[in-house]
Amino acid sequence: MIRPIRFMLIPLVLSICLFGAVDLAQNWHATVVINWNKVVRITKTVPTYQIVGSPLMLPNSPIHDQVYRDIHNLGADFVRYQAWYPFPKIAVAELKPPHDGKTYWDFKYMDAIVVDFLKATQGHKVIMNLATIPEWMFKTPKPVPYPADPSQLDPGYEQGTELRDPTMKEVAGYFARLASWYTKGGFKDEYGHWHESGYHFRIPYWEVLNEVEAEHRMSPETYTRLYDAVVQAIQRVDPNTNFVGLALAEEDGPWLQRVLPDFFYYFLNHKNHAPGIPLDMISYHFYATPASDENPYVQQFTVFDDVDRFLAVVKYIQAIGQHLSPETRTDCDELGIISADDMAQGEPGHVAKPIPDSYWNLSAAEFAYLYLELSHLGINAAGMSSGLGFPNYYYPSVTMMDWRTGQPNARYWALKLLIENAGPGDKQVATASSLPFVAAQAYITPTGTRKVLLVNKRNSPFEVTINHIDGAKAVYVDQETNFHPPASNLVSSDSVVLDGYEVCVLTLL
């Protein structure tokens, strides 16, 4: 919560008692210097998010209506919908191969989520990622089973590494039919029979597959060939579709660090693609990952250190892109924190640990800081992950909504704060913070309004002085607002206090 300077006395006295005589100006005070006359960049970055299909989004879910209201109320562009493999009946529309003139297309459960999602985001650009390839299209020792119950999770469904059709026409045809189902009213199946959907949605962006370097261990060469085949097939359905490529996993781990540069170097080289293949946008992911023995106090240091390491990787990837394909845009479309407890899901005897409310504010501050820094690097979209997670292999630590009630948490509200106050076209002006734990960026909106984004990277209050903010309106998300919409007040001096993990936008009136 942001508040006038007079309320700083108690935490300052407490800090002296706990830590002895300290330099209060150095430890508790930040000065943010702004030069409103020096524009350093124009923002390209859209604050957005991804949501992964799950049983909690089906019509029989008790939180169904609330979830889609939450999606609609965010009003974001470039929202990524991902149909992920652990729920095969939700993620795959053809779970059995065609045989003897018969096909097994079934959109019952996929439609139940995709259609409501497209309606909830109507009027906004979306990125469709129906990336799960039916496992029967891969060579496997025996057919891969799947649960009959669409709500039953099956993390073992993804198995194959080598496609049974080396021409890749089978996979490309599958995705083209999905695109046609949702945009052209239906499609002709493998035997030429028409399947009617009646849907004529506009899907401006189609993301080709997801984290293939991990999920299917594809090489850059294999993925690039498959990307080209899918793009060509969908272009025949809708030549106006834009495409997102790569969707690579986070860069942590020696194997991924070794393989990821190869993907960027190979994929972004137009010489490695068929003639005329567009490279509209690439995407990749990042999650901070605190260790299992870290308590909430320690996690704040790990999280922001991880973020800064990731930002160094982003600079490297941007340099590759500028060299090979400068017209290609970038979407970091999965950003968040995955707790050590989430990483232990699936282990025998694992019982999910409760998540403290302060964690949601830590994660909210992490995303706001990522958005700020990615905007400095020219990234086109920054996507919070994920809309809806829940215990038992669906990563509750990344959720934006409570899986029991659908109620938004601090992550959701911080994202909404950014969507409503920052985005492409903002003129970012020269801004410097004297304290590394307080991130700040001043900007002038396309309508001429002056604003300042402030992010507290620590779970401690900091006094912040900014000249000429007396009378500004402060809108903020902190540990008092948490599961409620942002609060607001008027600043009564040129100094304010940011509470722990607070995300705040000052609007100069």
d(CA 249, CA 339): 16
Which residue's entry shows tokens 């901070």? 288
CB 508 within 8 A of CB 450: yes
d(CA 442, CA 451): 6
What is residue 353's predicted lDDT score, i.e. its pLDDT?
A: 86
Q: How does DSSP classify residue 198? A: -
Residues pairing with 163 in the sheet = 138
d(CA 95, CA 88): 8
What is residue 258's predicted lDDT score, i.e. its pLDDT?
A: 56
The CATH 3.20.20.80 domain(s) of the chain lie at: 46-421
What is residue 27's predicted lDDT score, i.e. its pLDDT?
A: 57
What is residue 16's predicted lDDT score, i.e. its pLDDT?
A: 32
- Amino acid 288 reads A
CA distances to 41, 140, 159, 397 from 215, rounded to whole Å, are: 37, 15, 8, 21
What is residue 261's predicted lDDT score, i.e. its pLDDT?
A: 84
What is residue 10's predicted lDDT score, i.e. its pLDDT?
A: 35
**Closest among 237, 232, 242 to 178, alpha carbons compared:** 237
Token readout for 260 is 């990821």
The CATH 2.60.40.1180 domain(s) of the chain lie at: 3-42+427-507
What is residue 259's predicted lDDT score, i.e. its pLDDT?
A: 59
d(CA 84, CA 247): 13
Sheet with 450-456, edge to edge strand ranges: 3-4, 495-498, 462-466, 29-42, 427-433, 438-444, 450-456, 503-507, 473-477, 487-490
Q: Dmax over Cα atoms in the chain, in whole Å?
A: 83
CB 431 within 8 A of CB 441: yes
Query: Along the 509 residues of the chain, how does pLDDT read in single tens digits?
Result: 443 333 333 333 333 333 333 333 345 799 999 999 999 999 999 999 999 999 999 999 999 999 999 999 999 999 999 999 999 999 999 999 999 999 999 999 999 999 999 999 999 999 999 999 999 999 999 999 999 999 999 999 999 999 999 999 999 999 999 999 999 999 999 999 999 999 999 999 999 999 998 899 999 999 999 999 999 999 999 999 999 999 998 655 544 555 578 999 999 999 999 999 999 999 999 999 999 999 999 999 999 999 999 999 999 999 999 999 999 999 999 999 999 999 888 788 888 889 999 999 999 999 999 999 999 999 999 999 999 999 987 899 999 999 999 999 999 999 999 999 999 999 999 999 999 999 999 999 999 999 999 999 999 999 999 999 999 999 999 999 989 999 999 999 999 999 999 999 999 98
CA distances to 43, 252, 276 from 328, rounded to whole Å, are: 16, 24, 14
Q: How does DSSP classify residue 402? A: -
Residues pairing with 506 in the sheet = 452, 474
Question: What does 404-445 look like in DSSP terms, one character per residue?
Answer: TT--B-HHHHHHHHHHHH--TT-EEEEEEESSTTEEEEEEE-
The CATH class given to the 46-421 domain equals alpha beta
CA distances to 240, 303, 331, 412 from 336, rounded to whole Å, are: 31, 9, 14, 12
Helix H or strand E encompassing 465: strand 462-466
Beta-carbon contacts of residue 425 (< 8 Å; ≥ 6 apart): 42, 43, 445, 446
CATH topology of domain 3-42+427-507: Immunoglobulin-like (2.60.40)
